[in-house]
Amino acid sequence: MKNRLLLLGSLLLFGTVTAFAQGGGNFQRRTVEERVKMVHAKLDSALKLDASKLTEVDSIFAGYYRSQDKLREEMMSSGGQPDFQQMREKMQPLVADRDDKLKKVLTEEQFKKWKDEIEPSMRPQRRQGGGGNR
């Protein structure tokens, strides 16, 4: 009996550790300020913008992220989990507006670097693994 309890406890502990190691529902969306700070750091290191331009860019991204969060909340409240394609279609005008504003602040070369190098690195990466079809 003692061995069974020890085995059961060990299995529960192992299962809990494994679940948390894989993300375990511990995901929290970053705040607008945290996301702006990430973009700020990447743009500052890659483009070496002056303080006034960085402030403008921060404002553009803060507005973009607030609009993005508002749209996501609206879609979630109007019927559960929206599909990826629907979400993408509704986000495109927000991205286009953000890019138009960025084009006014950044040079053509800086904007190209943003689109080609920095923006792709900001996208969340999907985890590999899971299924057995490798």
* pLDDT of amino acid 50: 87
* pLDDT of amino acid 71: 86
Which one has a higher pLDDT value, 126 or 85?
Answer: 85
* pLDDT of amino acid 118: 86
Query: 10: pLDDT confidence band, cut at 50, 70 and 90?
Result: low
* pLDDT of amino acid 102: 92
* pLDDT of amino acid 9: 61
Query: 134: pLDDT confidence band, cut at 50, 70 and 90?
Result: very low
Mean pLDDT, range 106-120, rounded to an integer? 89
Question: What span, in angstroms and rounded, lies between the C-alpha atoms of 64 and 97?
Answer: 8
Cβ atoms of residues 97 and 83 within 8 Å: no
End-to-end CA distance of the chain: 41
Cα 108 off chain centre by? 25
Q: Supply the mean pLDDT for the chain.
A: 78
For 50, phi then psi, to 5°, come to -75, 170
pLDDT tens across 46-79, in order?
A: 888 888 999 999 999 999 999 988 988 887 777 6
pLDDT tens across 77-105, in order?
A: 776 666 678 888 888 999 999 999 999 99
